[in-house]
Each structure stands twice: as C-alpha cells, then as structure tokens.
Homo-oligomer: A and B are copies of this chain.
Amino acid sequence: MNAFYSASPSQSWPGLWSHPQAHDLDYNRLDYWVNLARICEDGLIDGIFLADILAVHDVYQGSSDATLKSGCFCPTNDPMLLIPAMAAVTDHLTFGVTGNTTFEPPYLLARRLSTLDHLTEGRLAWNVVTGTAASAARALGRTDLPPHDERYDIADEFMEVVYKLWETSWDSDAAVRDKDSHIFADPSKVRPVRHAGRYFQCEGIHLSEPSPQRTPFIFSAGASGRGMRFAGRHAESAFISANSIPYARHLTDSLRGQAEACGRNGQDLKVFNAVTVIVAETDALAQEIMAETGRYSSADGNLAFLSGITGIDLSRYAPDEPIRHVESQAIQSIVEQMTRNSEGRVYTVADLAKFGPLRGPELFFCGSARTVCDQIETFVAQTGIDGLNLVRTVEPAGIRSFCDLVVPELQNRGLFKTAYRPGTMRQKMFPGRTPGVLASHPAAQV
C-alpha cells in the first residue's frame, strides 16, 4: 500500500488544497512532509510514492491558466529533496521518487539516487519516466520531445549507463573503510565505467560507493505498448491506473507477460493500481464526505489535468459529447480508458470534470471501512494486482482516515501486515531475498 503524492499543492484532484481541513498549501514546508511520513509509518503504509512533472500543464484551452488557478500539479518542487527529511524520522517507510531519463546526464541522476539509497539505508525506489509534455522539452532547451517510442530507446540506454555505474564500478568489497591500514577503498576493486552509445557517453568512476541496494528498486508506469516493453524489462514494480477489473487484469497480465518475454518471472513484477479512497464510519457519512469534498474540487483543474496527461484538449468538446480516441505523445492507458472503456461506458467532459467515481480513468472507492475493504478485496482478487497506490485527496486527513479505518479492517481480514518486514525496499517487497537485483534483472547483466 503506497501513498501517492507530489511536491505540489494538489495533484490528481486539483483544488482540494482549498478544503478547510487541507494542509496541502504547506506542500513547500518540511513539517508537512515530516508529519505525513510519521502518519504513514504509524499506519504501516509501505511507501510514499512521489510523482513529478517538469512542466506546467498547458494543453487545456491551449494555456496554463486553469492549471495555475487550480494548483494542479503546479507549482511542483523537486520531490527528491523531500525524502531526506522524511527518512530521518522513519525507520521502515520506503520512498519512490520520479526521475526523468530524457533531459539530463545519467552520471548525475545516478549519484542523486545512490545518495538517497545511502541516506534512506536502502529504502529507495526510482520511478523511471520519459516525459510526456512538449512544454517540458521547450523548458529544457529542446524544440520538442523525442518521438514516443524513441524516448523509451533513450531510456533503455540511460538504464544501461546507470546500471553500469551502480553495479560494476565498485566491487562489493572495494570500500574497505579500514581505520588501521588507513585505506578507504582498494583501487584494484574500483574501475571507471566506459560507455559510448547512441545517446550517451560516460567514462568515469561512480561517485558514490555501493549503497544498500546498489540499483534502487525500479518502478515504471508505462502502459503504452513500448512503455510496457520497457516495464517488462526493467520494472520491479509497475503502476497502472485502471478503472475496471477487466482493464486492470489486462494490463497486469500484459506486464507480467512482457517480463516473461524478457526472461524474467512474471511474479517478479509487482503491480500497483491507483485508487482514490473516501472512507468514514458509515457508508452514508463517506458519501457525504465525498459530496462535500467535491465542492472544493476544480472542474477546470480536473480537465486541465486530464488534458495534460492525455494530450487531448478537452475544452474542444461539448459538455455532453463523448470523448474520441486520439493518438498522442502522452499517457495512452488513460486515453484508452477515457475513450474505449471496457465496461461500455463513454465519458463526456461533464463526467471528467467531477470529483468522484465518474471522473473516468481512475479507480474510486467510497464507503465505510467494510465497504472499502470489500471493494479492495474483490479488485485485488479478480485482477491479480499486488497492491494499491492511494491517490492524495485532502491531506493529511485523507491518509489518516485510511490508516485509522481501512488498515485495521484489512488486518482483521488477514490481508495486511501487522508489522514492517526488515531489510531494504527490495527485501520488503520480496521477503527472503538479498538487497540487490535478481540475476534475471538487466541490472545484473551489464
């Protein structure tokens, strides 16, 4: 069970920062994050997963106005910098952080992630993304994004470089750290990486000594054909955002199949589905909270968000017009679900603008703990997924109510741990294994 945030005032549900109980305007203060981390660890949440975006969404109405007004993933501070303060007040909570492979040299990102894996004592995951916004490319000095599939070719080579840095530059016994002999590292066990590829050149010793996991636990959220191939090859955990059992089943099976096609065990890829949860003492109260929360949700913000992540300008549709499928550079699984829903539903702009289960391409559970747990239990059993990504609503009230109400009910059903597992993030996800990657993972093969 992950809690899903970004270093923004609001995220997938723009506007909820304006709720009277929301502390989300403090997204730029350390105490907001330290407090969230403590709540999550008290509630045995596995990890905090931090999304990121390198642009201000500007597809909706061809401008960033709705994005700025609603605080939709905007501003977005650097999420990596939240982790050290949260790690300092927790022992087991893990941290997944988004990092982009399209715009910066692998050598620097590799060091940043190694540093975090050291500072968290092996509680780090990296969510590998390739970028979906043309505006990010322009901010970063390009005229446009590379084409969708080429972004994944670039990412594949980026992974090769960082795997070499993490796995081959320092032998495990290179850093002897011996005070008696005054030897920090044995030079015969340290060597420069020499990579000269199509997209990247890198010749140098990795700047960090081996961290607890060496290669951080790898996340991926790609759900296009090429994105799934990438996830099948690299991801130890994949994030999907399916709003129906059949589609979640389809994505999960496809991801595991892609892993198997790469010579890996399909079960070595853990699948998490995004879900928004509104829980309260009773079903009726949860419905009331949902309706009340909706008053602070921004309709334009929702459309700006969905336009941004799909590349479809939803302002060009009439309110009751069904959304048509388009090819775009952006997140195809969301486009699929907005336009080709497996349960026959056709979404309109009016649906997509609303807070609640009708918005579309995400799962939404609302009710008492018992109701929510029934929904979770059914969804997990029938889709084969491994866990959920809890979408931020009004915080920290949202995550606290989940920890207070849903976690104990899941524990009563034997569906949730009663204590954290020891070890690194990889070991918490795959108990009994070593801190490092499996031999079948490409990081072990560079």
Contacts and interface: CB of A to CB of B under 8 A. Distances in A.
A204 B104 contact: no
A34 interface: yes
Interface in A51-85: 54-56, 63-65, 68-71, 74-78, 80-85
Contact of A104 (B105, B114, B211): B105
Interface residues of A, number: 79
Contacts of A77: 111, 114-115, 118-119, 207-208
Contacts of A211: 28
A178 to B, nearest CB: 8
B140 A78 contact: no
Contacts of A68: 184-187, 190
B179 A20 contact: yes
A222 B194 CA distance: 31
Contacts of A7: 115
A173 to B, nearest CB: 13
A344 interface: no
A183 B7 CA distance: 18
A326 interface: no
B187 A30 contact: no
A18 interface: yes
Contact of A204 (B56, B63, B78, B186): B56
B202 A107 contact: no
A81 to B, nearest CB: 5
Contacts of A20: 179
Given A107-B140, A179-B20, A296-B182, A115 B187 contact: no
A317 interface: no
Interface string A73-100: 0111110111111011100000000000
A203 B108 contact: no
B84 A187 contact: no
Nearest to A206: B75
Contacts of A15: 182
Interface string A184-214: 1111001000000000111111011101000
Given A81-B115, A84-B82, A85-B84, A71 B204 contact: no
A88 B298 CA distance: 33
Contacts of A136: 204
A29 interface: yes
A74 B111 CA distance: 12
Contact of A119 (B56, B81, B138, B142): B81
Given A30-B119, A116-B81, A119-B30, A182 B75 contact: no
A147 interface: no
A417 interface: no
A400 B118 CA distance: 25
A244 to B, nearest CB: 31
Nearest to A119: B30
A341 interface: no
A114 B7 CA distance: 12
Interface in A124-142: 135-136, 138-142
Contacts of A118: 28-29, 77
A136 B85 CA distance: 29
A177 interface: yes
A17 interface: yes
Interface in A110-165: 111-112, 114-116, 118-119, 121, 135-136, 138-142
A119 B28 contact: yes
Contact of A207 (B76, B89, B111): B76
A103 interface: yes
Interface in A1-26: 7, 9, 15, 17-20, 25
Nearest to A107: B139
B119 A85 contact: yes
